[in-house]
Chains A and B, each alone.
Chain A
Amino acid sequence: MKKNGVKMIKIKAKDVDVFYGKKQALFNISLDIEENQVTALIGPSGCGKSTFLRCLNRMNDVIDICSVKGEILINDFNINDKGCDVVRLREKIGMVFQKPNPFPKTLYENVSYGPTIHGIAQSKQEMDEIVETSLKKAALWEEVKDRLHEPGTGLSGGQQQRLCIARAISVRPEVILMDEPCSALDPIATAQIEELIDELKKEHTIIIVTHSMAQAARVSQNTGFFHLGQLIEHGSTDKIFKNPDNKKTQDYITGRFG
């Protein structure tokens, strides 16, 4: 999104290194993410794109041996600072995972969990509204409105993933991280999610890791290409796909390796 012709930067990563024990997984990643745009991270398996994504909401903290160096500024605030509260951070930065992972609870409880723990809703009525709008935004409301109190695990794969998206947006995060959200879904469900992503970018900044170059081309405005832990190239999707600067990028998107 441009304001007075200037790109608004939401996330600014500066010289990010990630280590798993002694093994370095990311080298010197510097990447700017534009606000209210979809940024796709592409690259062959094991290139570090998911690792980078997980740096953005500090999910790598969960892994004992993982250490992150460098600055990641979100709204000009370094999330790798000691003073950064992960709980607050993750409230602002939602995440959707590769495999749909709804809680084994009812649909309603799935969506209301975030607002409950962050104390967003003041009343039952307000909560009902949040659940409804979240499900509507996730394009799931019409399919499930009559069975909100049935278990979320009873839905189909595509529905489950949309439920996870509804859960993620229920706390109105500024950024949504998506880690290959369509890899476990069939083409129809994938199309639905892609449509949804396009809709969501109006209110959220979206970063999506994907294996499908076609998907990256369809949904994203910006693309970053990772290879062997390095960010080889990033820029507007148009440019990356039509006229990349780097030979490796060219080779990858034309299917010569990866």
Chain B
Amino acid sequence: MNKNKEQLLNKRYKAEQRFRLYGQSAIFMALLFLTIFIFKIFSTGYSAFQKTWLIVPVTFDAELMMLEQNPSKEDIQDADYYDIALKSMADLDPNANEDQENELKRMVSYFFEKEIKNELLNDPSLIGKTKEVYLTASDDLDQVFKGNYPRDLPEDQRRVSDYQLKIFDQLVANGKVESKFNISFFTNADSREAELAGIASSFMGSIFSILVCLMIAFPVAVLAAIYLEEFAPKNRFTDFIEVNINNLAAVPSIVFGLLGLGVLLAIFQLPRSTPLVGGITLSLMTLPTIIIAARASLKAVPPSIREAALAMGASRMQTTMHHTVPLSMPGTLSGTIIGLAQALGETAPLILIGMVAFVNTIPGSPMDPAASLPVQIYIWAESAERGFVEKVSACIMVLLGFLITMNLFAQIIRHKFEKKWS
């Protein structure tokens, strides 16, 4: 009898140990995947925050620019920079033939004219002088400099020719290639050229979408939750509504995209590809999440608080507004932020309402066309150029940073404002 008991006890301890082991290995696996994921994103993405510049001497030849003596600001603005830009690049190799000159030109971004022009606009006294100007390297050379480009491929399979590489290596050897923090990644809108593409449009688009989503979803959801939880009679009809709110939370997001397309765009004729439509669509998606969170936190307010207020002669409305709702706010707010974070990472519905369009302007209001961060990731991931690979990861990093900040905020709200009742 005693021996049996001993065995049973041993068995129970062993079972517990095994269970602990399963749990620990599950957590270990999860952490491992997370680490691999984050390592991969960071190792491919960090280089996008650096940008390669070629330092090229430019001679601001007034004649080539078609400038008169003592030009005004407008003249400088309107001058022709193509020839001096071309000439500066061609001068990198005095012996270059016409084809090679063309290749030299393609070593920098097509934006190089503008960069030279800005230089002169900043300092008009440069006319007639020569100055070394920073020009954005083409995305391929950018990748070469970052070591991401397979130089050992046969020449006909590369977008960078041997000649370009030779000149580039000379420039590197002379210290005329520099890597600097890539500000334009944050200030530029999307571009077909990887070296110029930035996240400003999609970042602003995401922010506008989230704001629209918040402004619609939060009040509607909170009012619905308060009504359902505190005022509505409990009957078949309200049960039916409750079930359907839960169902709504489980509807695939692309369905909301179809709704946005069919109703907002087709019937209400709202402007396509705008954060306004995106935000409204996302708010439909966020609504059930917030309602559920708000109802849960209203339910979590102890009934004794309601009774106390009612017994003091507070009306139902006063009880709700003075006591229950303020006490439920931390939970509601953190639920809201989590719902918004979900909406922020949503791609499918936005693609359907046209936020996948190529937008190379930065939106100034929710009525302007824009992309959003997850859609930007999708667009770039589809692009063939090597330069977009690191941009995808960098954009994911920005999105993750955004999400982590929001979740952190939700945590802080929950901890700071949560009331402890006895």
- Contact (Cβ within 8 A) A104 B419: yes
- Contact (Cβ within 8 A) A118 B313: yes
A87 at the binding interface (Cβ < 8 Å): yes
B308 at the binding interface (Cβ < 8 Å): yes
- Contact (Cβ within 8 A) A97 B419: no
> In the docked arrangement, what's the CA distance between A137 and B109, Å?
84
- Contact (Cβ within 8 A) A171 B312: yes
- Encode contact with A along B306-326: 1 for CB under 8 Å, 0 otherwise: 111111111100100011000
- Contact (Cβ within 8 A) A87 B313: yes
Taking the closest CB of chain B, its distance from the CB of A185, in whole angstroms, is 12
Which listed residue (A57, A102, A118) contacts B311, Cβ 8 A? A57
For A114, the closest partner residue in chain B by CB is B312
Which listed residue (B307, B312, B313, B322) contacts A88, Cβ 8 A? B313
Q: Which residues of B contact A57 (CB under 8 A)?
A: 311
For B235, the closest partner residue in chain A by CB is A64
Among residues 27 to 55 in chain B, which have CB atoms less than 8 Å away from a CB atom of chain A? none
- Encode contact with B along A73-88: 1 for CB under 8 Å, 0 otherwise: 0000000000000111
A113 at the binding interface (Cβ < 8 Å): yes
- Contact (Cβ within 8 A) B305 A103: yes
Among residues 193 to 227 in chain B, which have CB atoms less than 8 Å away from a CB atom of chain A? none
> In the docked arrangement, what's the CA distance between A157 and B307, Å?
18
Given contacts A59-B307, A64-B233, A97-B308, contact A103 B313 (CB under 8 A): no
> In the docked arrangement, what's the CA distance between A91 and B312, Å?
6
Given contacts A117-B318, A153-B420, contact A101 B312 (CB under 8 A): no
For A177, the closest partner residue in chain B by CB is B311
B302 at the binding interface (Cβ < 8 Å): yes
- Contact (Cβ within 8 A) B311 A153: no
Given contacts A88-B313, A113-B312, A117-B313, contact A160 B307 (CB under 8 A): no
- Contact (Cβ within 8 A) A164 B304: no
Given contacts A90-B313, A114-B313, contact A160 B308 (CB under 8 A): no
Taking the closest CB of chain A, its distance from the CB of B237, in whole angstroms, is 14
> In the docked arrangement, what's the CA distance between A57 and B311, Å?
8
- Contact (Cβ within 8 A) B312 A90: yes
Which listed residue (B305, B308, B312, B421) contacts A117, Cβ 8 A? B312
For B419, the closest partner residue in chain A by CB is A104
Given contacts A64-B233, A90-B310, contact A101 B315 (CB under 8 A): no
Taking the closest CB of chain B, its distance from the CB of A79, in whole angstroms, is 13
Given contacts A90-B313, A160-B422, A171-B312, contact A104 B327 (CB under 8 A): yes
- Contact (Cβ within 8 A) B310 A59: yes
- Contact (Cβ within 8 A) B311 A59: yes
- Encode contact with B along A159-186: 1 for CB under 8 Å, 0 otherwise: 0100010011001000000000000000
> In the docked arrangement, what's the CA distance between A95 and B304, Å?
12
> In the docked arrangement, what's the CA distance between A44 and B417, Å?
41
Given contacts A64-B233, A117-B318, A153-B420, contact A99 B310 (CB under 8 A): no
> In the docked arrangement, what's the CA distance between A78 and B192, Å?
81
Q: Which residues of B contact A103 (CB under 8 A)?
A: 305, 308-309, 323
Taking the closest CB of chain B, its distance from the CB of A102, in whole angstroms, is 8
Q: Which residues of A contact B233 (CB under 8 A)?
A: 64
Taking the closest CB of chain A, its distance from the CB of B397, in whole angstroms, is 41
B234 at the binding interface (Cβ < 8 Å): yes
A100 at the binding interface (Cβ < 8 Å): yes
Among B310, B312, B421, B422, the most chain A Cβ lie within 10 Å of the Cβ of B312
Q: Which residues of B contact A118 (CB under 8 A)?
A: 313
Taking the closest CB of chain B, its distance from the CB of A178, in whole angstroms, is 11
- Contact (Cβ within 8 A) A153 B312: no
- Contact (Cβ within 8 A) B234 A97: no
For A98, the closest partner residue in chain B by CB is B304
Q: Which residues of B contact A86 (CB under 8 A)?
A: 313
> In the docked arrangement, what's the CA distance between A95 and B421, Å?
19
> In the docked arrangement, what's the CA distance between A91 and B314, Å?
9
> In the docked arrangement, what's the CA distance between A254 and B311, Å?
35
Among residues 93 to 113 in chain A, which have CB atoms less than 8 Å away from a CB atom of chain B? 94-95, 97, 99-104, 113
> In the docked arrangement, what's the CA distance between A90 and B311, Å?
6
Which listed residue (A94, A97, A153, A157) contacts B421, Cβ 8 A? A153
For A116, the closest partner residue in chain B by CB is B322
- Contact (Cβ within 8 A) A101 B305: yes
Top 7 A-B pairs, shortest CB-CB distance? A90-B313, A101-B304, A95-B311, A91-B313, A104-B419, A101-B308, A114-B312
List 7 other contacts, CB 8 Å, given A87-B313, A94-B311, A102-B422: A57-B311, A103-B308, A104-B305, A113-B314, A117-B322, A153-B419, A167-B308
A contact set with B: CB distance below 8 Å: 57, 59, 62, 64, 86-91, 94-95, 97, 99-104, 113-114, 117-118, 153, 157, 160, 164, 167-168, 171
13 contacts between A and B (CB under 8 A): A59-B311, A62-B310, A64-B233, A87-B314, A95-B311, A101-B307, A103-B305, A104-B421, A113-B312, A114-B313, A153-B420, A168-B311, A171-B313
